[in-house]
Amino acid sequence: MSVVTSGRYTFPSYNLVFFIFLQLGLHSVEGVWPLPQSITSSPERYPLNPQAFYFTYGSQSAAQEGCSVLDEAFKRYFSLIFPDYSSGYGFLRFSVDKPFTVQVSVGRDDCDSYPDEDSSEQYTLSVSAGQASLKAETVWGALRGLETFSQLVYQEDFGSYYVNKTEIKDFPRFQFRGILLDTSRHYLPVQAILKTLDAMAFSKFNVFHWHIVDDPSFPYQSRTFPDLSAKGAFHPMTHIYTQSDVGRVISFARMRGIRVLPEFDSPGHTQSWGKGKNSVKLPTSSQSDLLTPCYSGSSPSGTFGPVNPILPSTYKFMATLFKEVSSVFPDSYIHLGGDEVNFSCWKSNPDVRAFMLKMGFGADFTKLEAYYMENIVNITVALNRTSIVWQDVFDYHERIPKDTVLHIWKGLPASYAAELSAITKAGYRVLLAAPWYINHISYGQDWRNYYTVQPLNFSGTEEQKKLVIGGEVCMWGEYVDATNLTPRLWPRASAAAERLWSDEKQTSDVDKAFPRLQDFRCELLRRGIQAEPLFVGHCKHEYQGV
């Protein structure tokens, strides 16, 4: 039996008259965020004493002590539930003799695996006198249940902790619930990424989409092509992600049931790639023309455009790079980008135009991009990886495998609804990001816009709607770095989290959601997450990081 508790500190028992009134007062259970599929609570409540509080494994659990994911989660959630006790901070407490045990049972021992697209996150939680029973098929479901339990616990003004009698059955509405961070336009220190992963777990997000490189910088330190970051990063020593850094992020995410999805966007958004092009070497060839030379009339202009799609060496380079990426990132998905390709440079280049005539593309440069993306997708297929691409790839009628996931990023509701309809009608799975570009902030309660999104509100059959596998919050980095990442992201992202996790009918009233989200925002502050206020008000535990 694994036990997480602490007996280092002994606190006196105070027999005070007002304690009676404290005990008699009924506390309404604060809303869990995101809202569980089914929750029944009672005014009946049970006191918790950190000196007599335990996490244990059920006797029939497939995972037992030594399961790193749950062992670490027990320690982490003990500190989250009892932060004052964990820090030794001197709140007044009342000694409670009765122990309380949270017994966790999982049906499958997947402690050493990584979460994937098929991982079950379903759990049941039953809280009664002296105990809570948490059951899940996987450790990932158990993590979601532990997060829910931690939000059920509350602390009264004089320091005593309580939890109410509660029954919960819960599972996510969508399997993919992601957050994109852009680490190219501004470098984000590893610690900022880890803090975001913590906050993601609090909101039950399960995919970290790492838009790791782009035009401005190439911070990923490739072991195969080190000059990509040496020449393409903002700084080759301080503004890079080493292999160790990447491994640390992946491990930290795994312990919270979060997948790490890397994106290496091409053929556009690759200006930083070209900075290291003259020293990027392959075993059999020099890749000195990774980017397309642009022309002014009949002469090179000295500038470069998207990746050069006409050279065999381009695909040798990409095959080598993605072989490395697939060995570093364990997830079965790789995001290949494919968006916003400016064709003007390709149009100016006589070699590109000659290649297009040879291939029968005429003057249709969307066919040239299709040719490029089809080759890149085939590279990832050979690596046994599934590709995610931005919607542009579909819009250009490119031939891509049916297991490719299309990522919608453009337009207002009418526009992305039409795209959802078209993509799913063609039989492709789809992710929705268009309504959740939360780097586009506005004055006021803009979280309401993110909360009221209806991902399945488009014309299509039930079979089509099953192809919508989830959605993603995007935090692009033009105006975001570590100084404003957290308050800009939270609690706005949490609004999308509930839309992606919870039942739509139960969460259709944005006004009813407001007080629950306020409570959750206060809980984020208590946990050290610098979440912005939703409106006028205060939190019992104000942010202490300033």
CA 490, 494, 495, 496 torsion: positive or negative? positive
**For 183, how many CA atoms within 13 A lie in the half-sphere containing its CB?**
29
> What does the DSSP 8-state code read for residue 31?
P
Which residue has tokens 């393409």? 232
- Give the angle 24-92-79 at the CA atoms, nearest 5°: 100
Hey, what are 284's tokens? 């059999």
Q: Which of 117, 167, 324, 340 is catalytic?
A: 340
Cβ proximity of 470 and 177 under 8 Å? yes
Q: Which distant-in-sequence residues (6+ apart) come within 8 Å of 504 by Cβ?
A: 173, 454, 456
Cβ proximity of 433 and 261 under 8 Å? no
Judged by phi (left if over 0) then psi (alpha if -120 to 50, else beta), residue 164 lies in beta
340 is catalytic: yes
Hey, what are 529's tokens? 């997450």
Whole-number Å distance between alpha carbons of 347 and 369: 12
Phi, psi angles (nearest 5°) of residue 133: -110, 120
CB atoms within 10 A of CB 42: 13
CA 295, 301, 305, 307 torsion: positive or negative? positive
What element of type H or E holds 303?
A: strand 299-307
Give catalytic residues, as residue numbers. Answer: 340
